[in-house]
Chain A
């Protein structure tokens, strides 16, 4: 019989090893899944993990890596503060959409004037838009004790409808011959968020993600706010004793995650996406939740996890187009990654011990000492 024994101190070695083990386990079980679907498992895994970087179309897919990883890292970094403190913002997708909407609206209001100030203005408007959307569940939680998980999630669907309304209404391109969607912001010099170094995929959103990672690292390791976040997550009563206000913490964490999600939205709409369209929301806000946990809520971990997740996205698309793998199988593969990570997580807090089968008959009723 295997028993779990709580470790006196969480294992640092396992904390680093479990993400690697989770990726390996995903590859093995994913490979079995692909084999059962009649695909060559080795070729499929290679297509997903290797070809995007070094395959024949590498020069096209490599820049995609940063383009996809940028928003994931930016959003996940913001989410990690709340998740560490036990504040569950599940609605980053909605905040991402709102950031894109408010950013685009701020820019389009000034169309077609030319100014270097328009892009920074749009960025600020996007961040504030995302922040405001996140503060709705935060204020409701602080004021009326509502559950931020439900409210933030439901606001995603409100945001999706707002997006459709904007794409077909106020933000619709007047010269677009009735097609849904706004003007193309990446073709308007004042708002264009272009590749900074050709062939790398590096745009301002990726730069912002890098700054967010460094900033989050400094905040968590060196700043009293980061300390309050960690304390509130680990020992809420000790946080209250230390003088951390739970309400302020909820507001701050939701504002940070919303703001960064909004930033991701505005960088996306001015660059890779180019315009507000009904299909703008592609799920970065949800995938970022996986990225945040895959990265163990640590800024550097999130950086690596974001890159890995982007890789499986690009690789998954390649596997779909080149090998005819169903899209659902790719999603299953990505979900498996989170599943294995959470399962392996047990190993950092507990150790496995083998215990010989006890001669005593298996208990039918638990003794009450265990029932705390």
Chain B
């Protein structure tokens, strides 16, 4: 008790209609990496925001190193020695690393001194980073290092990390873990939030598991199996996705030498991407975000058009066709960004069902929408994919990330695609929903559809893909059978650790 750095006692926070945290108590010891586990909506982020001063609890107390601790805002939390690395970075692409870090400081030193300190911290903790580079040119892993170094410059006592490895290559994860272990040796406490249970088993020595806003278990992750932890999170047993048949069909989607500039600034151009998928097959495309995934999806969905011959569907040249024409021919997509791309946040689920289902579900006649049919389609998605929502009249933005993802994937699967392309199908989705989505993708493949899964989650790709290819700086590696690939081989296909050469330069 007395050796705790941060002691949390009876924290409770309720929002209208939902109790996010209910009587949460646990201790974080100095010199330890403490895992916080739970499904989406289990109350992890509310808890972390409370610790970081973004949310004020309704009841309960916190003590930091023996002193009462109730930060009214993040500034107070930082002053008390609590730092946080968010899952989504808040960096300005057009500014340099040092300038970005200076922006976050209360009283920044002259830029040259700051650069020197950044270089110093970067060397001390094995986080290769050049303070003078422009953030827009950095990989996701390097951006994360900017955020971590920004925190370390405040000499924190407690570092909170929210899903830090979701954007990293295996090699970058190694670098991060080495840094975290070093910080732990120096006495820092780290609160580590992740869905990746194997990582937690390697890194953490204590885990607190939340479910429905309550602490349901604490365990020693090094002595608990990943499966056991997942079951404690879910409160039931987990099913491993299984598939009925294996592929052997004819090629339906054939992409040849797909090259295109990115439509966005700081985007990645596609360079000669070539692959093909057969009926009944799942092709996994791995890679760290920002290596052309979004551009590949746009080129396949038809939102970005290319030369006709670059994309062939069942032998037909479709590279210059618009999204609706491709949909009519059986090529369907589910983009990564749920809010604002795959779905319109302020529209109802019925309207969002119409959004992509109009043609194949015949939801309009002579341009006039059949809202009854659209509503029926939305209800079917909600039922078949276990979307938790009051009903089809709910606005898309009122759904949790996992539920909206189930809706978006279900909407495309129920339209009986011949080729389905999904980007990050389980990003930010909890374990049981992720398993359901993967199972649905496998079922679709065994019914004879070709499925392309673009994901950063290598475990996921290894679990469901027949073949695996890696996207790196807009180039796609040749696809290899997924079975038997080692983590090292995959890491090399992904292009290794970004920015290692910078570290040696210093």
Contact = CB atoms under 8 A, between A and B. Distances in A.
Interface of A: 8-10, 222-225, 227, 230-231, 234-235, 237-238, 240-243, 245, 358-360, 363-365, 367-369, 371-372
B340 A358 contact: no
B398 A8 contact: yes
Contacts, number: 96
B364 A369 contact: no
A221 B464 CA distance: 42
A369 B355 CA distance: 33
Contact of B302 (A225, A243, A360, A367): A243
B341 interface: yes
B397 A231 contact: no
A250 to B, nearest CB: 16
A238 B344 contact: yes
A224 B371 CA distance: 11
Q: Which of B74, B344, B368 has the most chain A CB within a 10 Å cutoff?
A: B344
B346 A234 contact: yes
Given A224-B364, A240-B303, A234 B347 contact: yes
Interface in B301-346: 301-303, 322-324, 327, 333, 335, 337, 340-346
A243 B347 contact: no
Contact of B341 (A10, A224, A235): A235
B301 A225 contact: no
Given A224-B369, A235-B340, A238-B340, A368 B90 contact: yes
B369 A365 contact: no
A245 B321 CA distance: 12
B379 to A, nearest CB: 19
Interface in B374-414: 395, 397-398
Nearest to A371: B90
Given A227-B354, A358-B73, A243 B340 contact: no
Interface of B: 54, 72-76, 78, 86, 90, 92, 100, 103-106, 150, 301-303, 322-324, 327, 333, 335, 337, 340-347, 351, 354-356, 358, 364, 367-369, 371, 395, 397-398
Contacts of B323: 240-243
Shortest Cβ-Cβ A-B pairs, 3 listed: A243-B324, A368-B104, A243-B323
B90 A241 contact: no
Contacts of B371: 222
Given A235-B344, A241-B335, A243-B323, A369 B90 contact: yes
A360 B354 contact: no
A241 B303 contact: yes
Nearest to B103: A368
A224 B358 contact: yes
15 contacts: A222-B368, A222-B369, A222-B371, A224-B367, A224-B368, A235-B343, A238-B344, A240-B303, A243-B324, A243-B327, A360-B75, A363-B73, A367-B78, A368-B100, A368-B104
A271 B133 CA distance: 68
Given A234-B345, A241-B342, A369-B54, 17 more contacts: A8-B398, A9-B398, A230-B347, A234-B347, A235-B341, A235-B347, A238-B340, A241-B335, A241-B356, A242-B323, A242-B356, A245-B322, A358-B73, A360-B72, A360-B73, A363-B73, A367-B78
B342 A227 contact: no
B332 to A, nearest CB: 11
Given A241-B323, A241-B341, A367 B398 contact: no
